[in-house]
Amino acid sequence: MTTHQDAKQLDTTSPDTTSQDTTLPDTTTVAVAPAAVPTIDTTTAENAIREAIDHLVAEQHIPSATYRLQFNAGFTFQDANRLLSYLDNLGISDLYASPIFTPRQGSSHGYDVADPTRLSPDLGSEADFDALAKALQKRNMGLLLDVVPNHMGVNDARNGWWLDVLENGPSSEYATYFDIQWHPLKAELENKVLLPILGNQYGVVLEAGELKVTYQSGSFYLNYYDTTLPLAPRSYRLILQPVVEQLPAPEATGPANTPLTAVTGKPQQAGEASTPTTPTARMELESILTALNYLPLATETEPQRMA
């Protein structure tokens, strides 16, 4: 039993009232029951974990004898398939394969992977690989793949990730895939990639006409012998603006209101191949230039702006 002197103060608060202190009467005894603690069946949980581990161990395949195959255009998935019977009789448990993803053009070893999302077309089709995998499974043999995640072949048309980075800079969705120092000590290299591909000083190469701008499949490129590099989309303005300024205004026509051709700027002749008239071409180019002005900068990294 409590006394008036050691009575406890209770803080009672409800949504409709304010907090107030209430003193327990001398004759009141308060008993607080302990909260119910849920019972955990540790034995069942431990058994489930053990069963999961045992299943993984049972399914695990541990190679006992491997045989390395160097895949390239001269040794394909079909060639490997034809060797399986011989290798199985030797007691080989697993094939140890060189990289099988798309490498640089003409690669003889495959370690210079250019596209890690596709099987190398030099080694055969996806159906050829599936046939090899099924033949291995039929003999209870495994396949070990040599994967080098920090090694990639660049400066090759097969490497779409790398070309996208060269085209769009830090704003490329693949920019973080490569270890590129976008903020080096040299200020002139800020947000740029320096490629050591020229055979002479830049000025000498430029004067010699070895650098050529080309147009392919709707995009502009810089060609240096066998090297093809994409131009940044916003730089297209430097190419298109001078062309637009040389074209007549939309209302311009040739003699007797004959439209001017976009290619020559001369009156279009009867029977001449159908080409956009100069006024139409100018309007289209001006529309493209306007759209280019709204493209995000190469330094833009906010996903909302890059989309």
**pLDDT tens sequence across 38-84:** 555 667 778 888 888 777 777 777 899 999 999 999 999 999 999 99
d(CA 170, CA 243): 29
Residue 292, pLDDT score:
83
Residue 47, pLDDT score:
83
Residue 140, pLDDT score:
93
pTM: 0.64
Residue 225, pLDDT score:
92
Residue 3, pLDDT score:
44
8 Å CB contact between 237 and 292: yes
306, two tokens: 């890059």
Mapping DSSP to helix (H, G, I), strand (E, B) and coil, where does residue 161 land? helix
Residue 278, pLDDT score:
65
Give the residue among 89, 83, 93, 105 at the shortest CA–CA distance from 153: 105
Architecture of domain 66-145: 2-Layer Sandwich (3.30)
Beta-bridge mates of residue 149 = none
Q: Which residues of the chain have pLDDT under 50?
A: 1-25, 27-28, 30, 256-265, 274, 307
Residue 13, pLDDT score:
42
Q: Provide the Cα torsion 204, 210, 216, 218; round to 10°.
A: 20
Residue 32, pLDDT score:
52
Q: Between the CA of residue 144 and those of 44, 71, 103, 242, what are the distances in Å?
A: 37, 13, 18, 57
Domain with CATH 3.30.750.90 in the chain: 66-145
Instruction: Kindly state the greatest CA–CA separation across the chain.
Output: 118
Mapping DSSP to helix (H, G, I), strand (E, B) and coil, where does residue 193 land? coil
